[in-house]
Structure 1
Amino acid sequence: MKHNEESDANIRTVKDQVESLYNFFGHSIKRWAVLGDLLSPESRDITLKRLCPTRWSSRYDALVALKYRYGDVIKALDKLSLTSDKKTERDEADALRKNISKFQFIFLISLQTKILECTNAVSKLMQEKSMDLLKASALLQNAIRTLKEYRTKFDEAKSFTLALALKWGSQTQFENTRLRKVKRHFHDLCEDSRLSDGEHYFRVNVFYGCLDVIIQQLSHRFVSLNRTAQLFEAIHPNTLQHAKDEELYEAARRLSDHYCRDIDSSFAGQLVSFRTCFKEQISRHTSVISLAKLLIVDNPAVTSAFSEVCSAFLLFLTIPVSVATAERSFSKLKLIKSYLRSTMAQERLFGLAILSIENERARKLDISQIVNDFAERKARRMPFN
């Protein structure tokens, strides 16, 4: 618990410093111009970004921008601390320069960027409409394995950060902080053995602590998703291709027992028969949705013979992987029902919300044709022969 608190405190401090850097340059046109004049050719299209408290992708963008523009930021802070006419501006630039030049800060930027590289890609892919449970579970397991491997490579991460620090001219060693003196009582058996070496302290309390928390959260939060994905492995093309009849029958029976209200007990036999009939076609598919199209769309005449297999496919495809779409729909309500539309009734609000959710289809509609059809239906004048 203590390690988690200390790692959270260090990461929170780094995020505050990143936000302070953006505010320092972003709240002044002159300071932003100074930073823009020092742009290196390879980072001309990368600008500092604000840390969003809710979207992890924006945090990744902000950290990557600082990582690639770190040298330009240092030069801008040095120039402002030497040439600025305002004492408060010089002092703030000096303080920011001192904070971001620490080796621990550079290591934490590199660490957080590595973590968000894994989680940000998985988060974006899980929000895709074509994503299913089996793919999402495989992506999560891959992210967990990558983070566990990175946890064992502290020396490699330190060498990478050291090369960056030498390139940027920053500190190359951890700072040894003074430990707080703790009062000892007469019944204490030994001295308070706390970590005094800066590198050892960072390795145990920050590096390991941060990675342990993110690995634990990824494993704990998606337990139900992984369990559900394991239940539906029976209808995955890889299982249908390589599993034996007994293994496939047992996996199908577990699925039908769990969803006994939706899938009948005859599902196991139908699935084995489905594999026998469509063995060659199954070998050319890699996802459950393609198998569902093969059975329901391409071969509708045989759906009555494999009714429970169709039910399993439809049940799998209707289970949502994430709630991102629903959350965005609720977020849109603030834009739809604004101050100027405060008297909007429920029916109109419902219609505008549907248009916002299905905006891709709404943009493809021919509005002029719809208006003409509406005008023809509502026309009151009678036609004369």
Structure 2
Amino acid sequence: MAGHISGVQKRILDMNPKAMFVPCNNHSLNLAGMHAVGVGTKSVTFFGTVEKVYSFFSSSTHRCDILKKHVPIRVKRSCNTRWSSTHEAVCVLAEHTEKIIDALEALRDGPEETSETRGDAGSILVCIMTYVFFSFLHFWNPVLTEVNDTQIYLQQEGLALDQCVQKLKALTLFCHEKRDSLVSKATEKALQVCKAYCIPKERRVGRRKKMDGENSCDAGLTLIQETSREQLKAIDQLQAEIKKLTTQMNTLHHRFAFLQIQTLLDTKKDDFIKKQIQHTCAQYTELNAASMLTEITRLRHHIILYKEVNPDEQVANWSALDLLRWVYKWKLQESLTNFVVTLRIFLTITVSTASCERSFSKLKLIKTYQRSTMSQERLSNLAILSIERDFNVDFNSVVEKFVLIKSRQI
């Protein structure tokens, strides 16, 4: 899809050079998280253990009943294609670690349990009761909380490109500022848990024969140091992947940066605005650069007068959509023709396919394999019922109307 040589992006651009390609932000963030998880074996093993916990309890109703006696909520499943599910799975384990361990111990030590259940519970406990697992549990929990918050924000309807860029920059800033503190806090909490459960924090390190000129201090890292190094590598990889996968979006945002209210009101950036307008008008021949420069000067005068009349209005915090709404509210679209067209082009750049995918997800729930012979009319009606489910329907009046259409036995 995104191939710039022979992909769909390239084929569309060949037919229409004015088209703009922006990868889905939610998928980009998903991919960034997947790449960050796969930087080391310990991180991959941790998420494998999380998946084992879900599979163990969900494969038997009896095990679920035992879990419900200890934990108020069910364990969740992690999914690579939906990163929010990974956050939910890790969050449940982080909040109810002791109770989940108690449930596993009850299944392992229960004399009435089958040998398979006792063996699986024991093997999962061995994987959980390690310093590495608790360290990554308390490391990924705050990271995934921020990633999930960003993902939910990016799935909102009517989101503009500048808002998406701002939110992703905030996530990148979080990874940069909290890089060391996330690792140190995860190490501290893991050591506390290990002390409470008497879990060894060191491992036996195999010593190899030293070569000539090699010092004894080169023997290797401790388990705590090695785990911390892999966590730092994971947070750095997440930050790098976010920057890499949002390059196209940042390029488009920079191209239309002159539409931001802070830039428009700053007279020191007139040269930058002029340069960007010339670049935009060269691509969109319908626009006139000289007229747009005049319109921006006119717009500044209107905004200055508006600020004098409304001093409490936070004009500097307006988004591109707020600016367009203000222009239409004061009937200025006729005097700002080129500027309004450019602003509308910017605001109609698609930044996510979450809304489209929700339609396909709902369609898959309606038209199942058992309903393969469903007609188009019935499928459309069921889809409308699903979409408009928030409306209150008087079923008695519907039944009466249905009876009056034709004599039937109900």
Q: What is the TM-score normalised by the length of structure 2?
A: 0.74
Match of 1:60 in 2: 87
CA contact (8 A) 2:255 2:280 kept: no
The amino acid of 2:125's aligned partner reads R
Distance in 2, matches of 1:363 and 1:5, equals 39
Supply the distance in 1 between the matched residues of 2:220 and 2:286 (Cα, whole angstroms).
58
Instruction: Tell whether the 8 Å contact from 1:80 to 1:90 is kept in structure 2 after alignment.
Output: yes
1:222 aligns with one of 246, 250, 263:
246
2:270 to 230, 234, 246: 246
Match of 1:69 among 96, 101, 115: 96
CA contact (8 A) 2:187 2:228 kept: no
1:254 positional shift: 5.2
Verify: 1:327 aligned to 2:351, yes or no: no
> Contact between 2:136 and 2:186, CA under 8 Å: does it hold in 1?
no
Note the aligned Cα RMSD (angstroms): 3.7
Partner of 2:348: 318
**Which residues in structure 2 correspond to 1:31-180 (within 5 Å)?**
31-39=63-71, 44=72, 46-85=73-112, 86-153=114-181, 154-166=183-195, 169=197, 171=199, 173-176=201-204, 178=206
Q: Which residue does 1:203 correspond to in 2?
A: 228
Matched residue type, 1:270:
E
Confirm or deny: 8 A CA contact 1:252 1:268 kept in the other structure.
no
Q: Distance in 2 between matches of 1:10 and 1:341?
A: 44
TM normalised by structure 1 equals 0.78
Alignment coverage as a number of residue pairs:
352
Q: Tell me the alpha carbon deviations over residues 197-243 of structure 1, each in whole angstroms, 9 at most, x when there is no partner.
A: 22222222x21221122111101000111121222222222323445
Q: Which amino acid aligns with 2:153?
A: L
Alpha-carbon displacement from aligned partner over 1:2-61 (angstroms, at most 9, x marks no partner): x9897343222222211211222222233222222234xxxx3x3311223321111101
Kindly provide the amino acid, as one letter, of the partner of residue 127 in structure 2.
N
Of residues 339, 345, 352, the one that matches 2:369 is 339
Q: Please give the secondary structure, in 1, of the residue aligned with 2:74.
A: coil
Match of 2:298 in 1: 273
How far 1:295 sits from its partner (Å)?
A: 1.2
Please tell me whether the aligned partners of residues 172 and 239 of structure 2 are also in contact (alpha carbons under 8 angstroms).
Answer: yes
Aligned AA (1:221) = L
The one-letter amino acid paired with 1:304 is E
Contact persistence 1:234–1:252 (CA under 8 A)? yes
Task: Tell me which amino acid in the other structure corresponds to 1:51.
Answer: S
Question: Identity rate of aligned residues, in percent?
Answer: 21
Contact 1:144 1:215 in 2 (8 A): yes
Does the 8 Å contact 1:82/1:90 carry over to 2? yes
The AA in structure 1 aligned to 2:349 is I
- State the distance in 2 between where 1:76 and 1:102 align: 17
- Of 85-94 and 57-66, more deviation after overlay is shown by 85-94
Q: 1:355 to 1:195 in 2, by over 3 A?
A: farther
Q: 1:263 aligns with which of 287, 302, 320?
A: 287
Query: 1:305 maps to which residue?
Result: 335
1:6/1:224 CA distance change after superposition, 3 Å: closer
Aligned to 1:377: none
- The change in CA–CA distance for 1:366 and 1:99 in structure 2 (over 3 A counts) is closer
8 A contact 1:26–1:32 mirrored in 2: yes
> CA contact under 8 A between 1:165 and 1:171: conserved in structure 2?
yes
Say if 1:239 and 1:248, in contact at 8 Å, map to a contact too.
no
Higher relative contact order (CA 8 A, sep 6+): 2
Give the corresponding residue for 2:12: none
The alpha-carbon distance between structure 1 residues 216 and 170, as it changes in their structure 2 partners (threshold 3 A), is farther
The letter for the 1-side match of 2:79 is C
- The residue matched to 1:202 in structure 2 has which SS? helix
Partner deviation per Cα, 1:222-278 (whole Å, 9 max, x = no partner): 011112122222222232344536256436525634643353212222112112123
Gaps of 5+ in 2: 1-34, 308-312, 399-410
- Given that residues 67 and 100 in structure 2 are in contact (C-alpha distance below 8 angstroms), is that contact kept between their aligned partners in structure 1? yes
Q: Equivalent residue for 1:378? A: none
How big is the shift at 1:162? 2.5
Distance 2:299 2:267 in 1: 14
Change (3 A) 1:292 1:195: same
Give the direction of change, closer, same or farther, for the CA distance of 1:20–1:10 in structure 2 (3 Å limit): same
Q: Is the Cα contact below 8 Å between 2:324 and 2:340 reproduced in 1?
A: yes
Residues 138-174 of structure 1 deviation map (CA, whole Å, 9 limit, x = unaligned): 11111111112232333343123333444x5263624
Amino acid at match of 2:67: L
CA contact (8 A) 1:14 1:105 kept: yes
